[in-house]
């Protein structure tokens, strides 16, 4: 995991991970003007890569940012970095910035986007999570709510707010008072044997694991409904869980100092976590 890939549009280079790469006029650095994807690697394969690249493409369109790499090229770059690091398991971060530009927020007519792909080891499976509410509200009408962007200081501050309160996660609420997501994961609750998750229209980053669960749940004997969810519903849920690409479904067992359900990982969460892990193993088989 000691090397990273960088590409300014001409040709990719593999360089040491601690190499200074970004100029101080790159808008990714100056204004957080760029996007990233966090991708799990299993059995040497980048999991659900096409879905990640599709979401990335949607985000770039919202940013009015056109890049010189198509999905095929990005896939090659990722495979090149996996090979360079001899990764079988781990996490990739793919970052695209708008590139250098003059001072000012206006989007420059000419800019050369930068691509950086980094590798990190897979962290140990996290313990069940506990959460509190973020003390400010977000607007689902903001394009930022749909973007996995480099402008993530709100998430840094929310995560720190949770840490200082002694819990693992902070949940954002929107200006309608409904739950949207956690700092780096989507949220699901189980209520009357139904699985609910906030609809994208509530101001939710459309997570890849979220998308996969919604699509595969029926095959696993479950049904996931996208809807509006209030914090009060979380309090009375029989179980809850968080999802992201790094750790899959993760039990959420406490909220605002109270246990959710029994205060233990719930049976439906456990089923989904097992099925999801099995799916990851299946789709990462090289013979596929």
What are residue 32's DSSP bridge partners? none
By CB under 8 A, name the binding residues for its own copies: 4, 6, 17-33, 36, 38, 63-64, 91, 93, 95, 100, 102-107, 116, 118, 120, 123, 135-139, 141-144, 147, 149-160, 163, 175, 183-184
Q: Which is nearer to its own copies, 113 or 261 (CB)?
A: 113
Q: Which is nearer to its own copies, 156 or 259 (CB)?
A: 156
Do the bridges between strand 169-174 and strand 239-244 make them parallel or antiparallel, or are there none, so unpaired? unpaired
Q: Which is nearer to its own copies, 207 or 261 (CB)?
A: 207
Q: Which is nearer to its own copies, 149 or 222 (CB)?
A: 149
Distance CA 26, CA 38 (A): 21
Token pair belonging to 85: 């690091």
Find the shortest distance in angstroms from Cβ 205 to its own copies. Answer: 13
Find the shortest distance in angstroms from Cβ 3 to its own copies. Answer: 11
Distance CA 132, CA 256 (A): 5
Find the shortest distance in angstroms from Cβ 270 to its own copies. Answer: 25
Sign of CA pseudo-dihedral 56, 61, 65, 70: positive
Q: Biggest alpha carbon distance in the chain?
A: 57
Residue with the two structure tokens 């998750």: 197
Q: Which is nearer to its own copies, 125 or 156 (CB)?
A: 156
User: Residues in the chain, how many?
Assistant: 288
Find the shortest distance in angstroms from Cβ 101 to its own copies. Answer: 10
> 75: Cβ–Cβ under 8 A, 6 or more apart, which residues?
46, 49, 53
Find the shortest distance in angstroms from Cβ 158 to its own copies. Answer: 8
């Amino acid at each position: 995991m000691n090397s990273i890939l960088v590409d300014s549009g001409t040709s990719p280079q593999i360089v040491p991970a601690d190499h200074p790469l970004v100029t101080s006029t790159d808008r990714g650095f100056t204004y957080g003007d760029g996007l990233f994807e966090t991708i799990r690697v299993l059995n040497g394969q980048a999991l659900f890569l096409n879905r990640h690249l599709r979401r990335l493409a949607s985000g770039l369109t919202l940013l009015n940012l056109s890049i010189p790499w198509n999905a095929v090229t990005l896939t090659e770059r990722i495979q090149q970095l996996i090979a360079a690091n001899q990764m079988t398991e781990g996490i990739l971060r793919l970052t695209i910035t708008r590139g250098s530009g003059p001072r000012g927020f206006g989007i420059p007519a000419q800019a050369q986007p930068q691509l950086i792909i980094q590798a990190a080891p897979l962290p140990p499976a996290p313990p069940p999570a506990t959460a509190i509410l973020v003390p400010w509200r977000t607007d689902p009408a903001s394009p930022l709510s749909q973007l996995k962007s480099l402008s993530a200081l709100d998430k840094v501050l929310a995560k720190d707010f949770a840490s200082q309160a002694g819990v693992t996660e902070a949940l954002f609420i929107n200006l309608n008072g409904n739950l949207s997501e956690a700092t780096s994961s989507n949220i699901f609750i189980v209520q009357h044997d139904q699985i609910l998750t906030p609809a994208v229209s509530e101001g939710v980053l459309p997570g890849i694991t979220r998308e996969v669960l919604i699509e595969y749940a029926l095959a696993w004997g479950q049904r996931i409904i996208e809807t509006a969810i209030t914090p009060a519903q979380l309090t009375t849920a029989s179980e809850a869980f968080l999802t992201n690409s790094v750790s899959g479904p993760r039990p959420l067992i406490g909220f605002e100092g109270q246990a959710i359900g029994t205060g233990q990982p719930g049976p439906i969460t456990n089923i989904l976590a097992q099925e999801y892990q099995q799916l990851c193993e299946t789709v990462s088989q090289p013979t596929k």
